[in-house]
């Protein structure tokens, strides 16, 4: 994999859109170079341009400019294959016929290296980045700021280092560190996403509001899908001084929300009734063509009348003839409806059943069953049997043995599996990326989902080879890095899945490591 020069790529895109804005200038060394003519570009786009110190809406923090630039800065790195760590589609060690990939290295470097071969091809990204607890992060971009540097950058010290405020505040430094870490990675990841792709990001309260702002900036406010509430514990944590906390968040954005279909993990049941009346909606008129409604009543003529009762408002606006259990002529009803006329026309065109059992008329839509049922944004044991952190701990113990779990804070397999299924139910060849792989829960989830629905999804895991604590259970059992844990977890999960399902797709993976060129 060879890295794409994103600055050059962006220049080419801009030049293709606005060729009149491309010019040439002579630099300080006397070289003729290409440049953008700002005046020509301004004329092309015909909108206001913010320059200099003009006030504008923006979210900023110390170090942001460097973080923005970092995503597009070229690197001199390569991916080196590690066949000895790899295993084949059927779990055979040392075989590299698998379509799955595991990359050891800094995830920003790896994301940049993937641009060449995986640009616009990732369907789902699921990441569980480190939560911001004010500590350090194991990444090598040198974004962590010293106390004095932060205070000067945030305007709390003058150029000589003297305080400009009575009590300098340091909490923002840790927000800045975390934002400088996550921003370039999200920006680089966006380049890999297909037009109909989505990204899921798990997080807690500490950076929730900040992440929404930078995600709006990177993906666009119009591509915000939802913020899932994930019930992560069966019993609340009382570490917070005011409340017992039960849930975290899963933030979801699309590359292009217009191209993304409804999220779904369920289908409608056959014969279920859906009332057309919906009290509180705006009043409108629905026209039912002749023969489109089935009546459970004798042949008769029904005169125009008010059929409202309780909080249900309905009026029959024309004289209706019911013959042989259907409406012989057009029926016009005024009410507060769940469906628009366009949606009603679709239901009729699909030959789905509309029924009215008595007067006053209360039309019901009876679905044939098997239609996509739109997902709720609450992820809990009571909504989708969604797993919790307690389940995650048990899953690792099942793989590694009781008391031998080498990872302290895993996510349950059911969480990424549920979300991946929700957006790939009609694309079982999708590529799934997790660039904060950790214990490789996402890889496990992809293999599990493929086994359950005969899919052929592929995963790409990226993990910084952070060393394990010498006193940890992981180190005790020979896992020197987080990558060692993740790779072994995939091997063991693949073996378990192959033993449970008669036909199992790819449960192998090819390992690469990021190295200097």
At residue 158 the predicted structure's pLDDT band, cuts being 50, 70 and 90, is low
Q: What is the mean pLDDT of residues 188-199?
A: 97
Phi and psi, residue 242, nearest 5°: -110, -35
With a cut of 80, say whether residue 163 has pLDDT above it. Answer: no
- Higher local confidence (pLDDT), 498 or 11: 498
- Higher local confidence (pLDDT), 378 or 142: 378
Q: What is the mean pLDDT of residues 125-140?
A: 74
Q: Report how far residue 82's alpha carbon sits from residue 87's, in angstroms, rounded to the nearest whole number.
A: 10
With a cut of 80, say whether residue 48 has pLDDT above it. Answer: no
pLDDT per residue over 401-451, tens digit each? 988 888 887 899 999 999 999 999 999 999 999 999 999 999 999 999 999
Q: Please state, for a pLDDT cut of 70, what percent of the chain lies above it.
A: 88
With a cut of 60, say whether residue 164 has pLDDT above it. Answer: no
Q: How far is CA 228 from CA 205, 378, 417, in A?
A: 13, 6, 15
Q: Any residues with CB less than 8 A from the CB of 456 and at least 6 apart, and which? A: 428, 429, 450, 505, 506
Q: What is the pTM of this model?
A: 0.78
The per-residue pLDDT for 169 is 46
The per-residue pLDDT for 145 is 47
Q: What is the mean pLDDT of residues 465-480?
A: 91
160 SS3 class = coil
Straight-line distance from the first to the last Cα atom of the chain, in angstroms, rounded to the nearest whole number: 12
Token pair of 346 as six digits: 């679709």
The answer to whether 249 touches 128, Cβ cutoff 8 Å, is no
Mean pLDDT across the chain, nearest whole number? 88
Token pair of 310 as six digits: 């309780």
**Domains identified in the chain and CATH numbers:** 6-56 (no CATH), 77-143+186-260+384-516 (3.40.50.150), 269-369 (no CATH)
pLDDT per residue over 303-334, tens digit each? 999 999 999 999 999 999 999 999 999 999 99
At residue 20 the predicted structure's pLDDT band, cuts being 50, 70 and 90, is confident
Dihedral sign for Cα atoms in the order 398, 404, 405, 408: positive
Give me the DSSP letters along 87-133.
Answer: B-TT--BT----S-EEEES-HHHHHHHHHHHHTT-EEEEEE-PPP-S
Q: Report how far residue 145's alpha carbon sits from residue 135's, in angstroms, rounded to the nearest whole number.
A: 12
Q: What is the mean pLDDT of residues 285-302?
A: 97
The answer to whether 153 touches 160, Cβ cutoff 8 Å, is no
With a cut of 60, say whether residue 152 has pLDDT above it. Answer: no
At residue 11 the predicted structure's pLDDT band, cuts being 50, 70 and 90, is confident
- Higher local confidence (pLDDT), 149 or 490: 490
The per-residue pLDDT for 165 is 47
Token pair of 401 as six digits: 């043995």
- Pairing of β 224-231 and β 378-379: parallel
Q: Any residues with CB less than 8 A from the CB of 191 and at least 6 apart, and which? A: 6, 111, 115, 119, 120
Q: What is the mean pLDDT of residues 33-50?
A: 74
At residue 151 the predicted structure's pLDDT band, cuts being 50, 70 and 90, is very low
Angle at 81 between CA 115 and CA 462, to 5 degrees: 50
């Amino acid at each position: 994999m060879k890295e794409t020069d994103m600055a050059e790529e962006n220049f080419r895109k801009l030049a293709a859109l606005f060729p009149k804005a491309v010019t040439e200038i002579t630099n300080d060394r006397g070289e003729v170079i290409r440049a953008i003519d700002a005046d020509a570009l301004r004329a092309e786009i015909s909108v206001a341009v913010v320059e200099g110190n003009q006030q504008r809406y923006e979210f900023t923090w110390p170090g942001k400019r460097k973080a923005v630039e970092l995503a597009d800065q070229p690197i001199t790195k390569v991916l080196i294959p590690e066949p000895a760590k790899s295993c084949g589609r059927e779990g055979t060690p040392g075989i590299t016929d698998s379509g799955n990939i595991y990359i050891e290295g800094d995830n920003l470097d790896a994301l940049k290296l993937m641009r060449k071969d995986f640009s616009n091809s990732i369907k789902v990204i699921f990441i569980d980045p480190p939560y911001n607890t004010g500590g350090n992060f194991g990444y090598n971009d040198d974004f962590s700021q010293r106390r004095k540097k932060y205070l000067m950058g945030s305007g709390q010290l003058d150029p000589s280092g003297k305080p400009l405020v009575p009590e300098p505040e340091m909490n923002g430094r840790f927000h800045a560190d975390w934002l400088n870490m996550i921003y370039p990675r999200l920006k680089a990841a966006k380049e890999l996403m297909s037009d109909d792709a989505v990204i899921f990001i798990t997080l807690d309260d500490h950076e929730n509001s900040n992440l929404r702002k930078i995600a709006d900036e990177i993906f666009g406010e119009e591509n915000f899908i939802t913020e899932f509430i994930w019930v992560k514990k069966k019993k609340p944590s009382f570490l917070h001084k005011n409340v017992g906390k039960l849930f975290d968040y899963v933030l979801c954005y699309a590359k292009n929300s217009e191209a993304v279909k409804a999220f779904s993990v369920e289908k409608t049941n056959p014969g279920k009734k859906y009332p057309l009346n919906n009290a509180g909606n705006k009043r409108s008129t629905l026209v039912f063509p002749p023969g489109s409604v089935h009546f459970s009543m004798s042949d008769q003529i029904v005169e125009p009348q008010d059929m409202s009762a309780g909080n249900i408002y309905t009026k029959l606006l024309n004289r209706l003839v019911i013959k042989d259990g259907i409406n012989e002529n057009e029926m016009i009803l005024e009410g507060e409806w769940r469906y628009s006329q366009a949606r009603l026309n679709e239901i009729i065109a699909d030959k789905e059943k509309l029924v009215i059992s008595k007067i006053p008329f209360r039309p019901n839509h009876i679905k044939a069953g098997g239609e996509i049922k739109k997902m709720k944004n609450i992820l809990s044991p009571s909504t989708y049997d969604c797993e919790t952190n307690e389940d995650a701990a048990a899953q690792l113990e099942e793989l590694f043995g009781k008391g031998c779990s080498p990872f302290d804070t895993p996510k349950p397999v059911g969480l990424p599996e549920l979300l991946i299924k929700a957006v790939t139910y009609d694309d079982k060849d999708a590529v799934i990326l997790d660039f904060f792989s950790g214990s490789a829960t996402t890889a496990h989830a992809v293999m599990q989902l493929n086994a359950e629905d005969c899919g052929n999804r592929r995963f790409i895991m990226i993990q910084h080879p952070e060393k394990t604590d010498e006193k940890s259970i992981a180190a005790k059992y020979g896992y020197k890095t987080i990558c060692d844990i993740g790779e072994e977890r995939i091997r063991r999960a693949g073996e378990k899945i192959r033993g449970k399902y008669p036909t199992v797709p790819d449960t192998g993976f090819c390992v690469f490591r990021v190295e200097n060129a």
